[in-house]
Chains A and B, each alone.
Chain A
Amino acid sequence: MRHDESLYHRYHIETRDAPDIEAWPPRFQVKVRRHRLAWLLLKEIFHYGPAKKEVILSRPCVYGVFSGPIGGFAPRPHLCVGCLRCTTQYPDVVQIVPNPERQKLGDSYFTAHYVNTVAYEAATGRVPVRGAGYRGRFGGQGWDGMWTDMSEIVRPTRDGIHGREYISTMVDIGVRPDHLAFGPDGQPVEPPRVFGVPLPLLFDRLPQVEANPALTRILAAAAREIDTLALLPVAALAHLAEPTPHIVPVVRATETVPRLPFAPRMVELDGWDPAAYQRLQQAFPQSIVALRLPFGDRPTLAAAFAAGVRVFHLTADYHGQLPDGRFVMDGIREAHLFFVEKGLRDAVTLLGSGGIIAAEHVPKAIILGLDAVAIDTPLLVALQARFAGEFRRPGDAYRLPKRLPEGWGVQRLKNLAASWRDQLLEVLGAMGLRDVRRLRGEMGRAMFQKDLEREAFGEIEGYLEQTATSGEPTAASREPMAVR
């Protein structure tokens, strides 16, 4: 059937299984005491008699860990899901232990728990669904100290994510005058220069990408297929046979303005330099020129706005830390309120990066004031990158799988984007919102642990706000305390 552009098409990301290309250590170690197992079998043979082979060989595991040719004598730990049935039943024979090698994946911020989650999302494209209740700590620092609202009955989406009505995740990026003025010819004097991206999720410039043609091509192709933007340094563009408008060249102020064989929708200037900004505007009159700068730099924000910048891409390090030590959430809120207080919020687009490593962080970042996020380390983890120690800054080391097939990589990123978008839909659906643009800066849609605790526990002896939610100094969302 021919694709008819004139017809309405609901935005959809095609997901397909893209299993791990590199074997990661299994989540659990299955430690069997073989002599005890042999003793158990002998006891059962004696007890039931050899005729009851079916009873004797009946295994506790329903996932096949002990269903290899010699059963428990050669268990298959990669099949273990940690249900603990075997060890509950035979503690003297088998023990299930969280695999320390698996726990080493990621780093102190992008913990093994988040690595597992992103890997699952990238492999399947699905929303992680599990049974039992929440297993983690009570709230916490940073992202974890914030919950999102829901509505019991007010429900513009009625049938929600599973039904007929549509929740839009489209966001606008660009330059918008606060009102339209019309010339004598009846045409707007300064029409809005805005383009839409169907999900508030861009691919940020990845460290060392210019040295990796395969990675560059994966990012570009995935961005094109899901119709988002991939930010790439100019040096990486040479790896692309056919650059498309989905590529956003990131240009340093000191770099010469590149000649490009395509018209990007957006160009990003890395660091504020008024002259460089002018040069980029002249070189790319059809493109939006965005400015990339760290969170927390209000004077530069003001100066750049005065010079005409309307799209800001604000960054923290990969652990969400700002240069002044605050967490990215503070930076987002500050930037958002900076423009709100000046009555200019609708005139600008705020993009943000750094420390956004889970699907749940996207709606939270938008509630705090971003229009869209540009993700970084989750892209690497989705492609099974392993960090060499702490991965905080672009210069820190990581290792991708030796073989990085383009089709596999593109599908992993598409799956990740689909899963995160679906989770965003879950959150929007619960609130009864049908447009992600309505979520921006809607802090009334958030509940902050500090505020709720003050209200609930304020009169209880010993409650001190400053200690109640204190924990580790890292502002990262913590993984469930124990093992998984």
Chain B
Amino acid sequence: MNMLHLIVEKHTLALEAGRRMWASLKYGLPPALGDARWPAELILATWEAARTGHYPEHLEYRYGQSNGGFDRLHFKFLPESQWLPADAAIDLSLPLNRRFPDDPQITIDVPWYGGGMSFGSVSEQVMVSRARAAQRWNTFTSTGEGGYPPGLVPYKDHVITQIATGMFGVREETIQYARIVEFKYAQGAKPGLGGHLLGDKATVAVAKMRESVPWVSLFSPFPFHSVYSVEDHRKHVDWVRTINPRALVSVKVSTPTDVDMVAVGSFYAGAHIVHIDGSYGGTGAAPEVAKKIIAMPIELAIPKVHKFLLKEGIRDQITIMASGGIRNADDIAKIIALGADGAVLGTADLVALGCTRCSNCERGRGCPFGLTTTDPELSLLIEPDRDAARISNLYNAMAERLREILRRLGLRSVRELRGRTDLLVYR
């Protein structure tokens, strides 16, 4: 074993042991870990779920401390005598194509998939780890806007190809790989601002993938310069479907005040899936002002969209996926009860891999845990063979908890939960 491998091994083993030790609370809660949305206990619980496949009972894994949104919504569980039996079959699957019978019928086994994280914002190791977990759970992950690293190709049936405004790495073959193609109009963390990869992270490999110049910051402009209207958007959808007639089309948008109209517009443009990304979502780098004040949180956007689509009589023809601060199974269940069909995860996957939410993703060489970095040494801290299992374990814990929630609500399918705000209590 060479020196570099010994160093990597030393640190990965120590990280593994350290996370376990912190989660045991032997040293109490780490004093500087956590924030209102992801308090220390929730991070530790996620680490522990990623290790064991189950949420730990001794840590609060259901709520954050943000004093609003998900953290003030609770379930109105039935009396225990009315719960479904512990061994009841509860269906978590979610069909993604609800409108065109002739298009592929894709059903995922759990009502979530992984959101886009580009090559450059994260390493190829992270992308592959996520793709393997997606394959294991018969769901998806997304390329984000940074091209399609060759390591992802074996998992292409579970990888969404994202087309965003910079068109980085978008090629005919990467569209043809995909069972789902996603147009990213906006991102919740920086809505209306396009994408931004700082120069330090545009390494030679990243630049090659994006067909750009190494070490030069990359901006994905906002918005699509070819789209001024729903009709223009329709043209985009047609273009993708010409290249790959078998692909479902997803449209990722943010949460402006007229998010309901945006969803309807996407529907009329021919999308199968509308992915709504709320303002508290994750990012590799975004102006703090954008994360905090531009656009609305997902908890407030989804009911608006759901009710409007119901009124329009088209709710059952489109799949609404929600993202932007969805941290755990409880959040997934809540957003579905508020009107979404499913959820899209990003930060939760990274926390499973060891993220501390320190917000230094963009600084210098990038993430010191090897997540949001393409630094050739730091990125070795993630090893897909080992770390796909961590994400997969988290998914197992989430599925377990989601089934438990449904069981206590007396529901046999997650699809029965959609829009059931009567099953929620605000406190």
* A28-B358 Cα distance, complex, nearest whole Å: 13
- Are A452 and B300 also in contact (CB < 8 A) when A152-B185, A152-B262, A482-B35 are? yes
Q: When chains A and B are docked, how far (Å) is the Cα of A432 from the Cα of B193? A: 10
The answer, yes or no, to whether B82 is at the interface (CB within 8 Å) is: no
| CB pair A134 B292 closer than 8 Å | yes
Task: Scan B199-236; emit 1 where CB is below 8 A from any A CB, else 0.
Answer: 00000000000000000000101111101110011000
Stretch at the interface among A142-150, A168-176, A369-377, A395-403: A142-150
Q: Are B358 and A152 in contact (CB under 8 A)?
A: no
What is the total of A-B residue contacts with beta carbons within 8 Å? 306
The reply on A96 being an interface residue by CB < 8 A is yes
Distance (Å) between the CB of B426 and the closest chain A CB?
A: 4
Q: Let me know if A41 is at the binding interface, CB within 8 A.
A: no
Asked if A89 meets B18 with Cβ closer than 8 Å, knowing A28-B32, A480-B35, the reply is: yes
B193 touches A430 (CB 8 A): yes
Q: Is the CB of A457 within 8 A of B426?
A: yes
Interface pair A460/B424, CB less than 8 Å apart: yes
Q: Decide yes or no: A83 and B30 within 8 Å by CB, A360-B292, A456-B303 being known contacts.
A: no
Contact check: which of B71, B287, B299, B372 meets A456 at CB < 8 Å? B299
Known: A55-B10, A88-B19, A460-B421. A135 touches B35 (CB 8 A): yes
Contacts of B35 in A (CB 8 A): 135-136, 480-484
The answer to whether B289 touches A360, judged by C-beta atoms less than 8 angstroms apart, is yes
Contacts of A74 in B (CB 8 A): none
- A39 sits at the interface (CB 8 A): no
Q: Which of A155-163, A215-223, A231-239, A338-346 contacts B (4 or more CB under 8 A)?
A: A155-163
The answer to whether A133 and B303 touch across the interface, beta carbons within 8 angstroms, is: no
Interface with B: A5-13, A124-132, A245-253, A301-309, which one?
Answer: A124-132
Contacting B at CB under 8 A, from A300-346, are none
A34 interfacial contact with B, CB 8 Å: no
Measured in the bound complex, the distance between the Cα atoms of B11 and A55 in whole Å is 10
Q: Bound state CA distance, A339 and B189, in angstroms?
A: 36
Q: Report the interface size class on chain B.
A: 35 or more
Q: Is the CB of B30 within 8 A of A96?
A: yes
Which residues of A sit under 8 angstroms from B40, Cβ to Cβ?
Answer: 482
At the interface, yes or no: B342 with Cβ under 8 Å from chain A? no
Q: Chain B nearest CB: distance from A77 CB in Å?
A: 12
Contact between B11 and A60, CB atoms less than 8 A apart = yes
Judge whether B296 and A452 touch: CB under 8 Å.
Answer: yes
Q: Is A198 an interface residue (CB 8 A)?
A: no
Given A54-B3, A81-B363, A98-B32: A150 and B254 interface contact (C-beta under 8 Å): yes
- Whole-angstrom distance between the alpha carbons of A275 and B291 in the complex? 49
Evaluate whether A92 and B21 lie within 8 angstroms (CB atoms) in the complex, with A132-B359, A147-B295, A163-B221 already known. yes
For residue B105, CB closer than 8 A to chain A, the reply is no
Cα–Cα, bound, A152→B295 (Å): 11
- In the complex the two chains form, is B6's CB within 8 Å of A152's CB? no
A-B contact list, 18 entries, CB within 8 Å: A83-B369, A95-B27, A127-B288, A131-B372, A135-B357, A138-B280, A151-B192, A152-B185, A153-B229, A160-B221, A359-B289, A360-B293, A456-B300, A457-B426, A460-B425, A460-B426, A461-B422, A480-B35
Which 10 A/B pairs are nearest by Cβ-Cβ distance? A131-B361, A138-B68, A430-B192, A481-B36, A150-B192, A135-B35, A463-B426, A138-B66, A456-B303, A133-B282
Chain A residues engaging chain B, CB cutoff 8 angstroms: 28, 44, 48, 52, 54-55, 58, 60-63, 81-85, 87-92, 95-98, 117, 127-140, 146-155, 158-163, 359-360, 363-364, 423, 426-427, 429-432, 444, 447, 449, 452-453, 455-457, 459-463, 468-469, 471, 480-484
Extra inter-chain contacts (8) besides given A63-B364, A423-B287, CB under 8 Å: A62-B368, A87-B32, A134-B189, A136-B37, A153-B185, A427-B290, A468-B68, A469-B68
